[in-house]
Every structure is written in C-alpha cells, then in structure tokens.
C-alpha cells in the first residue's frame, strides 16, 4: 500500500525514503516498538520493490535490512505465524534480488531458508501453499544459475 501511494519513479522513491526516515525517527523515541519495527520493514520492502531491476544492489540491501529487522521481531514473538511469514517473504525478496544479481549462493541460502519456513507454515495454514509454490519457483530459477 505504501508503494502504491508513493507512485513509481524517482519522486515515489523519495517519498518512500522520507517515510522510512520518519519511521526510524519515531523508533528512536520508542525503542523496541514492534509496531514501528514492522512499519520500517514495510518501508524497506517498498523501497526494494521500487528500486527493482533499475538498482538491484540497492534493492538487495533494503531487503537484507528488512530481513535482519524481521529476525529481531521474530525473536520477540517466536510463536507468531505472521512474524515467520514476514521473515519468509523478506527472505524470498532478498533471494530473488540475489538471483537477478547472479549470486547463486546468496540466492539459494535465502530462498531455502524461506522454503523451510513456508513448509512449516503451509502444513498448519494450507492457504499458504501458493506462496510456497512461488518460492519453489524462485529456487528453481536460482538453481539454474551457473555454479560459482
């Protein structure tokens, strides 16, 4: 939703970066706020999506930062299926970016971790099978890259 509000192109990216900066500032006033941390991951994911193929290195960095923050959130709520799903989606985005960057090892590490999470989630929440299938497709793409 944040990305659709911001729009495409440089102006949209600028708005996303401003939203991220504001959320980081708010987090300084409320250290450890799970809600603000999740909003920051949303901003980072939107920035990565917005950068896309035009700036893959920047997209990958945004996704990796989002994953790190998602891991921290999961540490606070280790029984939350939503926190696991957020982490897995972040890993999938980061893995996809690594695939496009031709980083087979980096892609497979992230995507296989996402797959492991989704296998456990889909066993309990069958409607997530479609997302698991998507991740399996991303893994196939990464596996098709030349070995390093």
**What is 57-123 written as a DSSP string?**
HHHHHHHHHHHHHHHHHHHH-TT-HHHHHHHHHHHHHHHHHHHHTT-HHHHHHHHHHHHHHHHHHHH
CATH class given for the domain over 2-143: mainly alpha
Instruction: Give the start-to-end residue ranges of the domains of the chain.
Output: 2-143
pLDDT in tens, 97-141: 999 999 999 999 999 999 999 999 999 999 999 999 999 999 999
Q: pTM value? A: 0.89
């Amino acid at each position: 939703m944040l990305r659709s509000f911001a729009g495409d192109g440089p102006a949209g990216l600028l708005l996303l970066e401003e939203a991220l900066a504001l959320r980081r500032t708010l987090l300084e006033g409320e250290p450890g706020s799970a809600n603000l941390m999740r909003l920051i991951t949303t901003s980072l994911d939107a920035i990565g999506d917005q950068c896309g193929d035009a700036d893959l290195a920047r997209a990958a960095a945004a996704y990796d930062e989002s994953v790190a923050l998602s891991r921290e959130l999961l540490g606070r709520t280790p029984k939350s299926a939503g926190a696991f799903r957020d982490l897995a989606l972040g890993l999938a985005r980061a893995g996809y970016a690594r695939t496009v960057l031709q980083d087979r090892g980096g892609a497979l590490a992230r995507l296989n971790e996402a797959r492991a999470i989704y296998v456990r989630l889909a066993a309990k929440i069958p409607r997530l099978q479609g997302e698991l299938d998507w991740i399996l497709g991303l893994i196939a793409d990464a596996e098709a890259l030349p070995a390093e």
